[in-house]
């Protein structure tokens, strides 16, 4: 399995704090040693940092952790390989162009009998079920919307329907972004949190780092973070249900296919033995 991390924000925001927690799980507090990647959108452009090395030992991850790149949409992934070798072409996220936009995708899970999925002109380069399913999704989208769709929300709903079909082939937790929207689909492990004023402090579960968001933000900032497991121990993360689809737009969750969202009991989260910091 792997771990996913995503962010949607209404103002360009850096993800250094959350990323610092995530990369510890890449070979240190977690077993996800088989590479990592992170894609930052800036306007319509993006940049991706990738390494097939464990994130906890990666010089490039160190740069990303210490060099604040501000973005409104981020997709990140640390890998524990199941399908496909450990190499760069199999390292998430994957980015392709459709309708004159760059689409970035990352997946956590494993599919069976995926080889039959028809990907049309979007050919996978690596051997992962993840990249192949992404190519299949893009092929489905281009077939249904030969021209850029006007109603993006309807388009994402269609992606969610496609994910529902993929779910029948196995575990399919995914994130998809075009730099403006961040979409998630969950089959088992995915949590989200939206931070807004009044901001407080938060402490990472995987490293002794506490941040006071009040010092880092303005009262109008709205930032949502999505992760395979909660990254902080003193905040309430919402657990996504199996089959749940969510769409984030500049920080706000603008729709979801379920009404009631299950809250994470603090007990469900395993904080480090350190004394918890002031709770929000």
Residue 144 binding a copy of itself, by CB under 8 A = no
Number of residues that bind a copy of itself (CB under 8 A): 33
Q: How far is the CB of 78 from a copy of itself (least distance, A)?
A: 16
Q: How far is CA 133 from the centre of its chain?
A: 16
* DSSP letter for each residue of 53-80: S-GGG-HHHHHHHHS---EEEEEEEE--
Out of 124, 230, 233, 251, which residue is the one contacting a copy of itself (CB under 8 A)? 124
Q: How far is the CB of 91 from a copy of itself (least distance, A)?
A: 7
Q: Is 182 within 8 Å of 7 (Cβ atoms)?
A: yes
Q: Which lies closer to a copy of itself via its Cβ, residue 45 or residue 198?
A: 45
Residue 63 binding a copy of itself, by CB under 8 A = yes
Out of 102, 145, 158, 266, which residue is the one contacting a copy of itself (CB under 8 A)? 102
Dist. CA 87–CA 93, nearest whole Å: 13
Q: How many helices (H) and strands (E) does the chain have?
A: 5, 16
Q: Is 6 within 8 Å of 177 (Cβ atoms)?
A: yes
* Piece in contact with a copy of itself (CB under 8 A), picked from 81-89, 192-200, 215-223, 252-260: 81-89
Dist. CA 23–CA 21, nearest whole Å: 6
Question: From the candidates 2, 72, 135, 162, which is the catalytic residue?
Answer: 2
Dist. CA 13–CA 194, nearest whole Å: 13
Q: Is 222 within 8 Å of 9 (Cβ atoms)?
A: yes
Q: Which lies closer to a copy of itself via its Cβ, residue 126 or residue 271?
A: 126
Q: Which lies closer to a copy of itself via its Cβ, residue 42 or residue 252?
A: 42
Residue 49 binding a copy of itself, by CB under 8 A = yes
Q: How far is the CB of 198 from a copy of itself (least distance, A)?
A: 33
Residue labelled with tokens 């933000």 = 217
**Dihedral (CA of 250, 255, 256, 258) sign:** positive
Residue 76 binding a copy of itself, by CB under 8 A = no
Residue 180 binding a copy of itself, by CB under 8 A = no
163 is catalytic: no
- The catalytic residue positions are 2
Residues near a copy of itself (CB under 8 A): 42-52, 59-60, 63, 67, 87-91, 96-97, 99-102, 121-126, 142
């Amino acid at each position: 399995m792997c771990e996913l991390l995503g962010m949607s924000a209404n103002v360009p925001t850096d993800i250094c704090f959350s990323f610092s927690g995530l990369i510890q799980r890449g070979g240190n507090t977690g077993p996800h040693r088989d590479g990592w990647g992170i894609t930052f959108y800036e306007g319509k452009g993006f940049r991706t940092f990738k390494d097939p090395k464990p994130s906890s030992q990666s010089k490039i991850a160190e740069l990303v952790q210490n060099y604040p790149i501000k973005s409104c949409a981020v997709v990140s992934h640390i890998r524990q390989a199941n399908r496909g070798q450990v190499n760069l072409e199999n390292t998430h996220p994957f980015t392709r162009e459709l309708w004159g936009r760059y689409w970035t995708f990352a997946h956590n899970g494993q599919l069976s009998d995926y080889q039959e999925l028809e990907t049309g002109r979007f050919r996978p380069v690596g051997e992962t079920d993840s990249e192949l399913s992404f190519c299949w999704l893009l092929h489905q989208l281009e077939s249904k919307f030969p021209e850029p769709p006007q109603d993006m929300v309807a388009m994402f709903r269609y992606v969610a329907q496609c994910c529902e079909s993929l779910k029948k082939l196995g575990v399919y937790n995914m994130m998809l972004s075009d730099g403006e929207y961040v979409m998630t689909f969950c089959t088992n492990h995915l949590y989200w949190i939206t931070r807004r004023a009044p901001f407080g402090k938060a402490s990472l579960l995987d490293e002794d780092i506490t941040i006071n968001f009040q010092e880092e933000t303005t009262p109008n900032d709205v930032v949502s973070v999505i992760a395979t497991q909660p990254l902080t121990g003193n905040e309430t993360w919402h657990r996504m249900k199996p089959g749940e689809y969510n769409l984030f737009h500049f920080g706000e969750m603008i729709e979801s296919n379920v009404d009631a969202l299950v809250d994470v009991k603090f007990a469900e989260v395993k904080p480090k033995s350190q004394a918890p910091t002031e709770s929000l």
